[in-house]
């Protein structure tokens, strides 16, 4: 992503904001793991989308006047030779400007004073108009989720500046992130290539007796040959009965002869991630029942890629996947009747992909060109001891759609060929 991409994203966001408003977007802070050890820092995705920067404790500030003119500022950690000796080099103001396109870059140490001057005195350097609206991204997945700097600021603002009318910046950014720019689509394509390398490495190494953590090591090693970014989300890699845990992260199981290996993985490239699921028998040869169920999933997936086009209702994706697959499962003798499909299909079949693996977008009513989402067909037959999913990434085109992950072996024949030649 280049500077113009991020500048355009901010401009479109500012156009949606009300006059006399203040926008604050925070990159986030490190999280303590244990004692004095922190988890690796991961910047808030919408902050990165708007600035191109992944540095901690940074703030994007934009003030929109009554006439629609916008003044934007960026606050970052100042240079600190001693801190940088221990924890790495910090981005410098001129670098932040080069990446983001924001000219006014200041030390985050002046943020609190500057904001108080603006909100209490009604001016921000040359900005002399009062601020009526405060735009913050205060989304939380649930009430038990940790608080972010935006939540802390909201509490302070409600106490100190109760006249401000709070607006939801998250809702606006979700609308922007729904439709992918050409540079984003190219980033996803590159991430697909890297994901393919990781999945092929696992397929070729697969054998009975192999542990799940060994499959993960193969995947991680392959991704590490492209960049330090690695997976875009925690890899799900399981075997045998562990396949019946949808989000499985233990990696302690062992693939026994005849077990299916399930993986739900994705590399990231230029802040964009993929979400691909491939499954195979660890011994490289599908059994009769494994093949039967896999062919149902593959036929369903292929049908969806032949059907999806602009104008379709987004809600029809999940419904169609379930209905089409249910009929195939009944015809194959794996299911008694279509209305009982929930016994074998345990999760939804589509979600958007991009800056997040479950991308934070405004849920669309209808499908439109340049949306990117997954087609995910999962079948979990506990009685037969077979659980797996087939998941691909779909790009909506002007007249139909494209399978971005089509180059990753997905048919029974192609999978068996890869494993036989290993």
Tell me the DSSP string of 42-54.
Answer: ---HHHHHHH---
Comparing C-alpha atoms, which of 372, 1, 40 is closest to residue 234? 40
User: Which parts of 27-114 are beta strand (E)?
Assistant: 32-34, 37-38, 59-64, 70-76, 104-107
pLDDT for residue 104 = 97
Q: How far is CA 136 from CA 157, 161, 168, in A?
A: 11, 14, 6
Say if CB 168 and CB 138 are below 8 A apart.
yes
Tokens of residue 418, six digits: 């890869």
* CATH code at 3-177: 3.40.350.10
Q: What is the residue-level pLDDT of the chain in tens, covering all 422 positions?
A: 999 999 999 999 999 999 999 999 999 999 999 998 999 999 999 999 999 999 999 999 999 999 999 999 999 999 999 999 999 999 999 999 999 999 999 999 999 999 998 988 655 555 557 899 999 999 888 888 888 999 999 999 999 999 999 999 999 999 999 999 999 999 999 999 999 999 999 999 999 999 999 999 999 999 999 999 999 999 999 999 999 999 999 999 999 999 999 999 999 999 999 999 999 999 999 999 999 999 999 999 999 999 999 999 999 999 999 999 999 999 999 999 999 999 999 999 999 999 999 999 999 999 999 999 999 999 999 999 999 999 999 999 999 999 999 999 999 999 999 999 87
- 413: three-class secondary structure by DSSP: helix
In terms of Cα–Cα distance, which of 13, 2, 288 is closest to 169?
Answer: 13
pLDDT given at position 129: 72
**267, 202 contact by CB (below 8 A):** no
DSSP summary character for residue 252: -
Which secondary structure element, helix H or strand E, spans residue 157, and what is its range? helix 149-160
Tell me where in the chain the CATH 3.90.230.10 domain(s) lie.
179-421
Among 291, 285, 288, 282, which Cα is nearest to 254's?
Answer: 282
Q: DSSP 3-state assignment of 63?
A: strand
Give CATH 3.40.350.10 domain extents, the chain: 3-177
Q: Please give the CATH topology (third level) of the domain spanning 179-421.
A: Creatine Amidinohydrolase (3.90.230)
Q: Whole-model pTM? A: 0.94
pLDDT attached to residue 145: 82
């Amino acid at each position: 992503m280049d500077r113009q991409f991020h500048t355009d994203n901010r401009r479109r966001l500012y156009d949606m904001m009300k006059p006399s408003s203040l926008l604050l977007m925070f990159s986030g802070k490190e999280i303590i793991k244990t004692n004095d050890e922190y988890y690796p820092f991961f910047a808030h995705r919408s902050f990165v989308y708007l600035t191109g920067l992944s540095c901690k404790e940074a703030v994007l500030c934009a003030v929109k006047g009554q006439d629609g003119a916008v003044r934007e500022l960026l606050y970052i950690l100042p240079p600190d030779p001693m801190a940088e000796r221990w924890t790495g080099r910090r981005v410098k103001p001129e670098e932040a400007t080069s990446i983001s396109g924001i000219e006014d870059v200041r030390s985050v140490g002046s943020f609190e004073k500057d904001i108080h001057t603006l909100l209490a005195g009604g001016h921000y350097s040359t900005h002399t108009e009062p601020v009526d609206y405060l735009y913050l991204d205060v989304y939380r997945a649930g009430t038990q989720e940790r608080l972010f700097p935006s939540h802390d600021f909201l509490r302070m603002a409600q106490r100190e500046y109760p006249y401000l009318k709070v607006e939801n910046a998250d809702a606006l950014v979700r609308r922007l992130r729904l439709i992918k720019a050409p540079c984003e689509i190219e980033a996803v394509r590159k991430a697909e290539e890297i994901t393919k390398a990781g999945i092929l490495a696992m397929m070729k190494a697969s054998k009975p007796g192999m542990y799940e953590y060994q499959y993960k090591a193969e995947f991680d090693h392959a991704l590490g040959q492209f960049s330090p970014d690695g997976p875009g989300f925690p890899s799900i890699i399981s075997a045998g009965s562990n396949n019946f845990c949808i989000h499985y992260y233990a990696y302690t199981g062992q693939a026994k002869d005849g077990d299916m290996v399930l993986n739900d993985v994705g590399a990231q490239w230029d802040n964009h991630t993929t979400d691909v699921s491939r499954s195979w028998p660890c011994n490289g040869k599908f059994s009769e029942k494994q093949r039967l169920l896999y062919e149902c999933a593959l036929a369903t997936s292929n049908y969806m890629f032949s059907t999806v086009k602009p104008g379709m209702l987004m809600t029809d994706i999940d419904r169609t996947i379930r209905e089409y697959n249910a009929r195939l499962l009944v015809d194959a003798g794996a299911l008694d009747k279509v209305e009982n499909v929930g016994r074998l299909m345990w999760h939804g079949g589509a979600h958007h992909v991009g800056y997040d693996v479950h991308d934070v977008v405004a849920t669309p009513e209808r499908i439109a060109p340049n949306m990117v989402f997954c087609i995910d067909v999962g079948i979990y037959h506990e009685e037969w001891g077979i659980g797996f999913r087939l998941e691909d990434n779909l790009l909506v085109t002007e007249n139909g759609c494209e399978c971005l992950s089509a180059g990753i072996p997905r048919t029974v024949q192609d999978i068996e060929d890869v494993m036989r030649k290993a």
